[in-house]
Chain A
Amino acid sequence: MFKNISFGVYYPGNSLLHRLQARTKLLLLGWFTIFVTIANHHTWKFAPYIVLAISVLLGTALAGISFNHMWGRMKLLILLSLLAAIPTIFSRNDNSLPLYTLSPAHVAFDAIRWAIVIYGVVLTVYIILSWLPLPAIRSFLHWPGSRRMRITFIVLTLLALAILWLIRNHPPGATFPIGPFVITDTGTWALMTLFTVFLSLYAFSVILTTTTTPIALIEGLTMLLKPLRWLRLPVDEFALMALIALRFFPTLFEELEQLLKAQISRGADYAHGSLRERVQSLVSLFVPMMQGVLRRASDLSVALEARGYHIEGKQTYLHETSFKTLDYTVLAVVIVVTVGALLV
Chain B
Amino acid sequence: MNDSIITIRHLSHTYQSGPHVRAALVDINLEIVRGSCVAIIGVTGSGKSTLVQHLNGLLRPTSGTVVVDGIDVNARGVDLVALRQRVGMLFQFPESQLFEPTVYADVAFGPRRMKLSKREVRTRVFKALETVGLPPHEYAQRSPFDLSGGQMRRVALAGVLAMSPTILVLDEPTTGLDADARSEFYSYLRRVQQEQGVTIILVSHDMSEVAALADWLCVLHNGHLVTQGPPRSIFTQGDTLRTWGLATPPLSELLALLRQHGIAIPPEVFTLDEAFEVLQKLYNVPGPRVQVQQEKNHV
Contacts and interface: CB of A to CB of B under 8 A. Distances in A.
B15 A3 contact: yes
Across the A-B interface, give the 9 residue pairs with the lowest CB-CB distance, nearest first.
Answer: A267-B113, A287-B99, A265-B89, A267-B110, A266-B110, A262-B97, A262-B91, A3-B17, A288-B99
B39 interface: no
A6 interface: yes
Contacts of B18: 6, 11
B96 A265 contact: no
Interface stretch (B80-88, B129-137, B175-183, B284-292): B80-88
Interface in B61-109: 81, 84-85, 87-92, 94, 96-99, 109
Interface of A: 3-4, 6, 11, 255, 258-259, 261-269, 273, 277, 283-284, 287-288, 291-292
B59 to A, nearest CB: 9
Contacts of A277: 113
A324 to B, nearest CB: 28
18 contacts: A3-B15, A3-B17, A11-B18, A258-B91, A258-B92, A264-B58, A264-B84, A265-B84, A266-B88, A266-B110, A267-B111, A267-B112, A268-B109, A268-B113, A273-B113, A283-B99, A284-B99, A288-B99
Nearest to B169: A265
Given A6-B18, A267-B114, 19 more contacts: A3-B15, A3-B17, A4-B16, A262-B94, A265-B88, A265-B90, A266-B84, A266-B88, A266-B113, A266-B159, A266-B163, A267-B110, A268-B109, A283-B99, A284-B97, A287-B99, A288-B96, A288-B97, A288-B99
Contacts, number: 72
Contacts of A267: 81, 84-85, 109-114, 163
B113 A6 contact: no
Contacts of A11: 18-19
A292 B93 CA distance: 12
B242 to A, nearest CB: 30
A46 B180 CA distance: 79
Given A3-B15, A4-B17, A267-B85, A284 B96 contact: no
B53 interface: yes
B107 to A, nearest CB: 10
Given A266-B159, A267-B163, A283-B99, A261 B109 contact: no
Q: Which of B98, B99, B160 has the most CB of A within 10 A?
A: B99
A284 B156 CA distance: 13
B46 interface: no
B56 interface: yes
Contacts of B88: 265-266
A284 B99 CA distance: 6
B53 A261 contact: yes
Nearest to A69: B19
A291 B96 CA distance: 8
B161 to A, nearest CB: 10
Interface string B134-159: 00000000000000000000000001
Contacts of B91: 258, 261-262, 265
A259 B99 CA distance: 11
Contacts of B159: 266
Nearest to A10: B18
Contacts of A263: 97
B146 to A, nearest CB: 14
Which among A264, A267, A283 has the highest number of chain B CB atoms within 10 Å?
A267
Contacts of B90: 262, 265
Contacts of A261: 53, 58, 89, 91
A288 B91 CA distance: 14
B20 to A, nearest CB: 10
Most buried by B among A11, A266, A268, A288: A266
Contacts of A283: 99
A260 to B, nearest CB: 9
Contacts of B112: 267
A262 B89 CA distance: 7
Contact of B109 (A3, A266, A273): A266
Contacts of A287: 99
Interface centre among B85, B87, B88, B91 (most CB of A within 10 A): B91
A265 B56 contact: yes
A106 to B, nearest CB: 54
A147 B37 CA distance: 45
A241 to B, nearest CB: 25
Interface in B204-253: none
Contacts of A259: 96-97
Nearest to A267: B113
A210 B160 CA distance: 44
